[in-house]
Amino acid sequence: MEMLKVLVVDDEPGIRSGISRILSQFIVGYPFMDEDIGFEMMEAATGEEAIEIFHVNKPDVVLLDNKLPGMDGIQVLEYINQNALEIEVMMITSYASLELAVKATNIGAYDFVPKPFTPQELRASMENLTKHLFLKRIIQRMNKEGKQIRFQFLTVLSHELKNPLSSVEGYLRMMQSRQAGDSLEDYDEMITRSIKRIKGMRNLIMDLLDLTKIESGKKPREIKDTDLVKVARLSAEAMGPMAIQMEVEVRFAGLEKLILPADPEEMEFIMNNLISNAVKYNRRGGKVIIRFAREDNKAIIEVKDTGIGITQEDQSLLFREFVRIKSRETRNISGSGLGLSIVKRLLDLYDGDIVVRSTPGEGSCFKIELPVNTR
Amino acid sequence: MINKDKKPRILIADDDPDFLFQLGFVLRKAGYEVDVFDNQVDTSKYLEAHRPDLAIFDLMMERDDSGFVLAYHAKKLYPKLPVILLTAVTAETGRDFKPGNQESKRWIKADLYLEKGLHPDEIIAYVRQFIKS
C-alpha cells in the first residue's frame, strides 16, 4: 500500500487527534490505481511548527485550520506558494468564515472542509483530494517521460545529421587545400562521395518532415477509394532503375485490384518503403514478390524478398526510430532509419498492423493487415 | 621498432567510409602506409596477422563498444602498440567519459582519446607524437 503523508495543523489537540484517528484507518482505492492509498498522520499546533515539518518530513497533504495562535492559515498557505512546495492544502474552516475558505481556494488551496464535520465528510473530502493528487502525479510523470523520449530522439537525430555534414566538410577542406593536386579530375571521387552523403541527408530530412507531419496531426488526410495494387505498381516502377542495377526482379502476385478507403499519399509512402527495402537489402539476381489478398475483413499485402534477412534480435528493433541494422552486409546501404517507424505509425492510423518473418541469409517477408470496413 | 627503410604502418578502423577515406588519404600523403577497415570483425582478423605501428579505432562500430574491444585485443597481442580511440561520446551525451581514475585506466587500453570531428589534418599531429621517424 502506498502512503500519503498528511499533516494536521490545528491548535485544538482534540481536533488533531480526532482527524488523525479517522484518517489513519482510512484507505482509498480506485479501479485504475495499482495500489490502495493509506494515510500516515502528523500533527502541528501552530503555523510555525507546520513550516518546520514541511521541510523535515515533506508531507503530501496539509489539513490546515485558519485560526492559529501565531501566523494564520492563509499565511501558511502563502508560504507554501512562495516556496513552491509540492503540498496539497485542504482548509478546515467554520461556516462562519466561508468567505475565508473561498479566498484560500483562490490562492491555491485544493478544497475546504467546513467545521464541524462528520467523519464521513472528512473521508469524502480526503478521497477526492487523493484522487486529484494521484492523477496530477501520473500526468507529471507522463510529461517527464515524453520529454525524455523526445530528448533521445533529438540526440540520435543530431548525430545522424552531423556525420554527413562533417564528411562533406572534410572533402571540401581537402579540395580547398588542393590535397589531391591541382586538376579538378583529381577530386572526382570526393565530389561523388560528397553528393552521396548530401542525398542521404536530404532523404533523412524528408522522412523527418513526414514524421513530424504525422505526429502533429497537421498532415491533411484525404481518404478516398484507393487501389493499393496500382499504388504498389507505381512504387515498383519508381524503384526500377535501382532494381535493374541490383539485378533484382520485382513481381506481383494475387489480386489485381485491391480497393480500400485510404489516403493515397500515405499508402504510397508505405509501399515505397517496403519495396525499396526489399530491393536494397536483396542479393544480386534476387527476387521481390508483392502479393495482395483479402481474408475475411482484412486486406493483406505481403512484400517478400530473397535478401540478407534479419536476425530474431534485430526484428524486434526494426520498427523503432533511427534503428538501422548494422552488419557487414548493410554497411554500404544508405537509409535514414526512419522509414519503417513511419510505416508503422501510418498503419496505426488505419488500425492496421505490420509483422515481419525472416530467416537470415534467405530473405524477409513483411506482411501488412488492414481492416476493411464493410459498410 | 621502426625499420628505417620501411614506411610506418597505421591501422584505422571506423564505420564511416568517408572518414576512412579522408583520414587514409591525409595519412598516406604524409608518408604512412595505411590499412583501413570499416568493422570490428575484419579489424580483429587483421590484428591477428599484422602488427601495425599505430592503431586508430572508432569507439562505436557494429557494436557500441567495438573500439574498446579492439583496443583490448590489440594491446593483448602487442602491449607496446600505441592505440588511439576516437569517440563522439562527449559531444553526444555531454558527459566526459575519459578514464579519469586509475581503475578505469587499467581496463580501458588506449594511449589517447580524441573527440570525433577533429579534422584529419589535426589528427596527424597526434599521430606524429607516437611515430617518431
- Domains of chain A are 2-117 (3.40.50.2300), 223-375 (3.30.565.10)
Q: Which segment of A5-19, A120-134, A200-214, A241-255 scores lowest on mean pLDDT?
A: A200-214
Query: CA triplet A310, A160, A241: central angle to 5 degrees?
Result: 60
In whole angstroms, what is the distance from residue A13 CA to residue A11 CA? Answer: 6
CA A352 to CA A366: how far, in whole Å?
13
Compute the average pLDDT of residues B80-100.
Answer: 69
For residue B102, give how far its alpha carbon lies from the nearest alpha carbon of chain A (Å). 30
Q: Is A344 helix (H, G, I), strand (E, B) or coil?
A: helix
Q: What is the mean pLDDT of residues B76-85?
A: 93
Where is pLDDT greater, at B11 or A92? B11
B25 contacts on A by Cβ (under 8 Å): 174, 179-180
Q: Taking residues A218-235, what's their average pLDDT? A: 87
Q: Among candidates B9, B80, B69, B76, which has minimal Cα distance to B41?
A: B69
Half-sphere exposure of A58 (CA within 13 A, CB side): 4
Q: Which amino acid is at A104?
A: A
According to the model, what pLDDT value does residue A244 have?
A: 86
- Give the Cα separation of B26 and A292 in Å (integer): 53
- Per-residue model confidence (pLDDT) at position A334: 63
Grid coordinates of A358: 525472416
pLDDT of A214 over the 80 cut: no
pLDDT of residue A375: 44
The model's pLDDT over A316-329, given as tens digits with 9 standing for 90+, comes to 888 877 666 666 66
The pLDDT > 70 percentage for chain A reads 90
Task: Out of A9-13, A62-66, A159-163, pick the least confident.
Answer: A159-163
Instruction: Work out the mean pLDDT of chain B and round it to a whole number.
Output: 82
For residue B18, give the nearest of A170, A327, A328 by CB distance. Answer: A170
The reply to whether B35 touches chain A by the CB within 8 Å rule is no
- ipTM given for this complex: 0.74
Q: What pLDDT is recorded for position A336? A: 67
Find chain B residues with C-beta within 8 A of A162's C-beta: 117
Contact list in A for residue B121 (CB cut-off 8 A) is 173
Q: B121 or A168: which carries more pLDDT confidence?
A: A168
Give the gap in angstroms from C-alpha B3 to the nearest C-alpha of chain A: 27
Q: B9-130 in CATH: which number?
A: 3.40.50.2300
